[in-house]
Chains A and B, each alone.
Chain A
Amino acid sequence: MTNKNYVKKFRFLSIWQIEENEAWFTAMSAQGLHLQKLGNLFAVFHQGDPADYQYSIEPLLNQEAEDQNWLELFSDAGWEAIVTDKKRNLQVFRAPNNGNIAKIHTDDQLYFDILQQRKIDLLRTMILIILAVILYMCFILYRNPITMVFSGLPYTLLIITFISGGSILEFYYFSKYIKRKQTNKPLPVNYKQAVLIQKSLFVMVLFLILLFFLDAGKMRTHQNTTNPIEMAPEYILSIEDIYGNITEDNDSEDNGFSTISSFSYPAWTKYSQSAVINNTGDRNIVKGDVFLASSTTHAKLMVRAFLHHYMHNYPYPNHHLPRFYSMVDYTKKPENKGFDQLFMDKDYLIRSGIIIARKDNYVYHIFFSRDGQLVLDALYKQMTDN
């Protein structure tokens, strides 16, 4: 809002705060600030002359939302439609506070029916979200345990908190709100405390997001400030490394893995998104991938996990080859010019992907972000040079 005639105010606008927000809008109008727009966390007011308005926030049901006659009936009765909040399914009306305008709801039971219907909608949404989270976790664990092992728990928690926390809170306080309306008791919900909880949840999520970005920045800096040629091993892992036991003993400083600790991904951080291709047009230098991990053991575990995915001749416990990866066995196809095993992304010519190639005891695991053919050519070049 660049226009000085508009004022933006931070405010939670949940459905269970209908009365509080109606009173707030009225108070703002008395100061000359008239509601104009509702955002996720903000209300936008237009600066004008002070006026005595009454506001009404109407919960919308599907039927009303689609019916132009509903709005017309209200405007005929003197209630001006100010804002339609499609996200929260609320409609804000305004009318002069002069006693000549009919109340919107003259039958309490009918109004409770609307609230009750909205409560059922909220419950349905909440159950669907929780079910989706559970199904997602089950899917990940069943199809792709590796993702779960190596993706960070804090990040997963962040997503779950963000998605389901808010909807549970919303349902809980709305149920209390309805009870309060039905029994006509003044504020049995401790409004201030509820808003405080809502704010804390919001701040916590913001904090987690901030940590996540700081973490990503740290990893990025580490990648940029470390010389990739020195870091990258000529090969990632030997066959023994892949199929044998990886023990902490292997964890030495000079094996080519670059390590870094990370908040969001405690087990591993990130591996560089480019095979090391020089920019001089020489197209020759492919040394392998750059792994940043909290320890070299984790880096090796990750490489091994990925290789198990793509070389699928190793029985990984509870593991199925995930369908959403489009790796194709090119070992016996004309594209293979000498590797013992070759797996590539189906569309390796046109988009980023992964190449896994084995020659004797050395396995190349290349994640390329540009040109697969370039990487493959360089690999052949290196193979013949050796």
Chain B
Amino acid sequence: MLPRYDRYFILWVFIVFILISASPVFAQEKNQSGYFPGIIHFYQEYISPVDGDRCAMHPSCSQYMKKCVKKHGLLTGWIMGCDRLVRCGRDEVKISSPVWADGKKFTYDSVENNDFWWSDK
């Protein structure tokens, strides 16, 4: 069991980290897409075929996160990807336009649809 002081310290570090990471200002970093897309690639290659093609969005959540990391760096890409996982297949379906791919209907939700309010790229 950690002492009370250390627990508060960890809690504060945690809060500071998440508040800083939520700031788009820190999203300008580039070329940080080293290992993270590798993990996504592993998921796409080995887990997704077993898990099944269940994502209702286009691009799929893993592709979306990969694109986010490529475009905005590791930290913002991770945050945007987590946001997408929460939104996948729910209220976004009513708001965004549908697209058809391989005879299936998907909801179009590109990176640009979600970073237009702060990104020039």
Co-complex (A, B): no
